[in-house]
């Protein structure tokens, strides 16, 4: 699992120079097992700061349940 600092740094790197226009959930699913896992996708509409040209990216996130806390294990961008 990624540490909180790693997740925050990754999201800042991906979206730090962009303005969010809209975020919409596409899918979310919990997979039973040991340990339980979850997966989800969101569509993130952004625009680079100082422009008016919107860009759409799909963000995939995976989690695993550890010690009663969901931890992010993966973040991927799909263009």
pTM: predicted TM-score of the whole model, two decimal places: 0.73
| Reported confidence tier of residue 5, pLDDT bands at 50, 70, 90 | confident
| Reported confidence tier of residue 1, pLDDT bands at 50, 70, 90 | low
Omega prior to 57 cis, within 30 of 0: no
Q: Is the distance from CB of 63 to CB of 72 less than 8 angstroms?
A: yes
39, 45, 49, 50 alpha-carbon torsion, rounded to 10°? 170
């Amino acid at each position: 699992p990624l540490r909180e600092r790693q997740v925050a740094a990754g999201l800042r790197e991906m979206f730090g120079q962009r303005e969010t226009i809209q975020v919409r959930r596409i899918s979310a699913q919990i997979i039973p097992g040991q340990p339980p896992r979850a997966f989800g996708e969101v569509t993130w509409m952004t625009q680079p700061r100082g422009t008016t040209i919107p860009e759409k990216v799909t963000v995939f996130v995976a989690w695993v349940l550890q010690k009663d806390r969901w931890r992010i294990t993966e973040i991927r961008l799909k263009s």
